[in-house]
Structure 1
Amino acid sequence: MGHFHAARVNFVGLSLLQVLWLQRVRGLTALQVGVQLLAEFGAFIAASVLAGILVRRLGPRVLITAGLLLAAFGAALFTQVEPDTAFAGYAAAFVLFGLGCGLANAPSTALAVGHVPPAARARPTAPSTPPARSAPSSAPASSPH
């Protein structure tokens, strides 16, 4: 399950750092950061869908390896970005990083879940909201006497 954790830590960790960098170093607003990160997260979603299709043909090892290499390349590109670099100068880094993490995500998740014994897997449970314990709305309110 090492690749599962590598893909998740890589994606979540670098995404957090990107948000901080874009806001604190570049001075972008939260909305501007969100719009710029659409390139990364859109690529992540598209690659996750593609990985779900390709995993049957190529197997998880190929996709995880290719994904982590792409993500590493995207992260390496991002290290070359300067505070005054325009978005067009680092959009490719975002897209490559998102594509790589997306390719690695679906197969690594499937492998991780596949190693859990069926008896230990989560099963549907009762709704998470507790039952109402209050009196019906037509009942008079109780007094503290």
Structure 2
Amino acid sequence: MNKIACLLLVFCLLQGCAGTRNSYTSLIEENNDASVLRLNKGDTVELLAIGNGFPGWWGYYPGVISSEPEIASVDCENARSLLPFREPGVLFGGEICNLTAHEKGKTTLYFGNQYVLTVNSYDEKYEVIIVEE
């Protein structure tokens, strides 16, 4: 019985680990030398799910910005997952960042450290093309 209790405690603590789910990777289309996300006007898609927890982010917290928020904006909201071992986490929660396509056009998404993220300081960037339905 003691072993089962220890096992349940370990499973519970593992759910509190910090992590990220990069949901945008399934949306990327490779075109020649560029990586592109194509969306229809009015679409909302999940880009990132960020789980707070142990051991913390230590000065690096994942984030994303759009170069043209009028065309496609990024909104991050606090959330918790109801599914164990899935970000943003059951115990500590986190954030889910969604991209909303407002109007036809092009924009660039910049991914990196939220604290220093700019169009000149980023880890990854992807072009987004918004088309009419």
What TM-score range do you get, normalising by the shorter chain? Answer: under 0.3
Q: In terms of Rg, which structure is larger?
A: 1
Q: TM-score, normalised by structure 1?
A: 0.24
How high is the TM-score relative to the length of structure 2?
A: 0.25
The structure that is helix-richer by fraction is 1
Higher strand residue share: 2
